Chains A and B, each alone.
Chain A
Amino acid sequence: MRRVPFSASIYVRLVGARVRADWQYRTSFVLLTCSQFLITFLDFLAIAVVFTQVPALAGWSFSQVAFLYGTTAVSFMLCDVFVSEVELAERHVRLGTFDQFLLRPAGPLLQLCAHEFALRRAGKLLQALVVLAIAIATVPVEWTVAKALMTAVTVTAGAVIFSAISVAASCIAFWFVGTQEVANSFTYGGNFASQYPLDVYGVWLRRILVIVPIAFVNYLPATWILDQPDAIGLPGWAAFVSPLVAAMSAAAAACTWRSAIRHYRSTGS
C-alpha cells in the first residue's frame, strides 16, 4: 500500500507556485501591499483617537491597548496570510473546482491553504508587526525572557485559534452555499473584539468571548504579561492555557473539516 504522507515539501512548492503566480501581476501586487499597509493604520488611528479623549480605558493605558491590538493583529494577519483564504472553499465548492483537491494524493486542506496563500496580505501583517513593536517598546513592563517568550507563544497560539475558527466557519459552505459572510463575522468579529481589553464589554459578552475562544487569543495572556487584573475573574493559570486552547481548537476544526468533506462527497454540491 502506498502511503501518502503529509508533506511539507508539497506545501512549500505549492505556496511557491502561488507566489510566482501573484508575481505575474506585480504592479497590482505591490500597490495592494502598500495600500493595505497604510489603510490598516487608519484602523489603529481610531483607537488612538479614543485616547485623545480619555487617559485610560477600563484601567488600560494607550500603550497597553496598543499591545492588545498588536498581538491580535499579528495573530489575525498570520491567519489571514496562511489560512483564512480557506473561506474561498465556498467559491471552489460553488464552481466545482473543489474537485481538483480531492483528485490528488495530498490533503485537500493543505492544498486549499497553499492554493489560496495570500502574500498580498503581507502589508497588513507588516503594519501589525510595527504596532506590536512600538507597543512592546512603550508598555510599562519590565521585559524578561519569560515575558518575551510568552508574547511569542501568545501570538502563535492566537494565529492557530483564528485559523481554527476560520476553517471551522468555512465548513459551513459545504452545507449551505452562500454563507461566506457568516464565516467572516466569526473571524473579523473576533479580531475586532480582541483589540480592546475585555473589561470594556458586558459580563455576558466576556463569557461568550471565553467560549469562542477569543479571550485566549491575547487578552488573558496579556493580563499576565502587563500585570493587569483579569476582568473575567478566571483563575490565574487561565493566562497560560492559550496553547492548549489553540490545540483543542485546531483539533475541533480538523474534525469539522473532515465531516464537511464527507458531506461534500455524498452531496457533490
Chain B
Amino acid sequence: MHLAVGDPALPEHGELSVALIELDHVSKEFVVHTKAGRVRRTRRAVPAVTDVSLTVEAGEVVGYIGPNGAGKSTTIKMLTGILVPSAGTIRVAGLDPQRRRRELAARIGVVFGQRTQLWWDLPLRDSFALLRHIYQVPAARHAENLGRFVELLDLGAFLDTPVRQLSLGQRMRGELTAALLHDPSVVYLDEPTIGLDVVSRQRVREFLAEVNREEGVTVLLTTHDLDDVEQLSTRLVVIDDGRVIHDGTVDEVKARYVEHRTLVVDLEAPGPSVRVQGAEVVKVEGTRQWLRFHPADLSAPELIARVVALVAVRDLTIEEPDIEDVVTRIYTRERATDDVARPGEVA
C-alpha cells in the first residue's frame, strides 16, 4: 500500500524553491573519554553522523532507518536544534535550527517513542491544554484541532484518564496529538510504533498518512519496524555507521538489493522436494514448498511452467521480498569490515 502525498504545505516564509529540510554535508562527533592509567584519560572523537546530505521537500514522508547506533536519533536532534552539528549546515523551513531553536520549536512537532512529553500524573486533556498555552495556539483553532484528533485517534474514552494509567498504545496516540496540535509543518517521529501491538501500530500509521494527506504535514520517521516504512513512506533513507547508504523509493531499494524471490507452491499431495533447474527448495511444510529463484536467471512464468509440468499443483504464489530481509541485506553488504565501537544510540 503506497499512500498518495497530498498538496505539500509550503514553508511559511515563502521561499518557494527552498526545501523544507536541508542537510548539507552534516557531521556530528562526540568526544569520549577513555581511561588510560589511574588518573589520565584520553580524549577520542567518535563519529555519530558522517557527512550526511539530505533534502526533504514539504509534504514528503521519509522513512529514516538504520540499526541501533546508526545515528538516526542524533540526526533528529540536530534537526530540532537540540544538538549542534560538528560540521556542515542544516536548514529547516529556511532557519538554522541551532540559532533559531525556540522559534523553530513552534513550527515542528516531535515524538520520541521512548519518552513522554505528556504530564504523567494529569489527565491527558490537561497536557493538551498546557501545550496550547506553551505554543500559544488560539483557543478556537485548538478546539478544532483537538476535536479532529480525538475523532481520528479515538481518544474520547481516555481523555480524562491520568497519563500514567494509559496503555502504551493510548499514550502514543496522546503523544501524536500533542506533537501535532499546534499545526507544525514538520513532524519528527523517533520510533513512534515501538512496543505497540499490531492494531495500535496500524492506527498510528493511518493517522500519520491522514495528517500528511490532509494537512500536508511533512513526516520524518525513524523506525525499526519496516512495515511502517513500507506503508507510510514514499521514500526510504537508510543510514548505517553515520552515513547515508541508500536514499530512494521503497521499490528501488527492493530492486537494487533483492537478488532472489520465492515461489510458494501448494501441491495436491505431499511429495519429495520439487527439482527444477534454476530454483532450489528452501523450505517444505506438508504440501507446501518454497522455491527460491533468481529472476535474472529464470523468469517467474518460466519457473511456474516448469513446476506445473513436473507436479500436480493446487495453488501458486510469488512472495514479494520482505523488506526486513532487504534491509538486513543492505546492512550486511554495506557495512565495512572494521568493527569500530559505535557511540550509543542517543549518545
Contacts and interface: CB of A to CB of B under 8 A. Distances in A.
A266 interface: yes
Interface residues of A, number: 29
Given A99-B77, A102-B81, A269 B134 contact: no
B257 interface: no
B101 interface: yes
A106 B82 contact: no
Contact of B103 (A2, A21, A24, A103): A2
B105 interface: yes
Nearest to A102: B82
Contacts of B119: 17, 21
Given A103-B82, A103-B117, A1 B103 contact: yes
Given A21-B122, A103-B110, A105-B105, A267 B115 contact: no
A2 B136 CA distance: 11
B120 A105 contact: no
Contacts of B110: 103
B130 A9 contact: no
Contacts of A1: 103
A125 interface: no
A105 B135 contact: yes
A14 B126 CA distance: 11
A140 interface: no
A108 to B, nearest CB: 9
A258 interface: no
A178 interface: no
Contacts of A106: 102, 134
Contact of B106 (A99, A105, A265): A105
B133 interface: yes
Interface in B290-347: 346-347
B137 to A, nearest CB: 11
A97 interface: yes
Interface string B120-149: 111000100010011110000000000000
Interface in B49-79: 74, 77
A228 interface: no
B4 interface: no
A17 B134 contact: no
Contacts of A9: 133
Interface string A192-219: 0000000000000000000000000000
A14 B103 contact: no
Interface in B197-245: none
A20 B81 CA distance: 31
Given A21-B120, A99-B77, A265-B82, A104 B115 contact: no
A210 to B, nearest CB: 34
Contacts of A107: 102
B162 interface: yes
Contacts of A268: 30, 74, 77, 82-83, 346-347
B73 to A, nearest CB: 9
B115 A100 contact: yes
B134 A105 contact: yes
A96 interface: yes
Interface string A74-114: 00000000000000000000001101101111110000000
B95 to A, nearest CB: 9
A20 B134 contact: no
Contacts of A2: 103, 106
A269 B30 contact: yes
A130 interface: no
Contact of A105 (B74, B77, B102, B126): B102
Nearest to B117: A100
Given A9-B133, A97-B115, A24 B101 contact: no
A14 B108 CA distance: 21
Contacts of A21: 119-122
A146 interface: no
A96 B151 CA distance: 32
In this complex, the member of A9, A24, A104 whose beta carbon has the largest number of chain B beta carbons within 10 angstroms is: A104
A46 interface: no
B80 interface: yes
What are the 5 tightest A-B residue pairs by CB atom distance, in nearest-first order? A21-B121, A105-B106, A105-B105, A266-B84, A24-B121
Interface of A: 1-2, 4, 7, 9-10, 13-14, 17, 20-22, 24-25, 96-97, 99-100, 102-107, 265-269
14 contacts: A9-B133, A10-B134, A22-B121, A99-B77, A102-B105, A103-B82, A103-B108, A105-B102, A105-B103, A105-B134, A265-B83, A265-B84, A268-B82, A269-B30
Interface of B: 30-31, 74, 77, 80-84, 98, 101-103, 105-106, 108, 110, 112, 115, 117, 119-122, 126, 130, 133-136, 162, 346-347
Given A10-B134, A99-B112, A265-B84, 19 more contacts: A1-B103, A2-B103, A9-B133, A13-B133, A20-B122, A21-B121, A24-B122, A24-B162, A99-B82, A102-B80, A102-B82, A102-B105, A103-B82, A104-B105, A105-B102, A105-B105, A106-B134, A265-B81, A267-B31
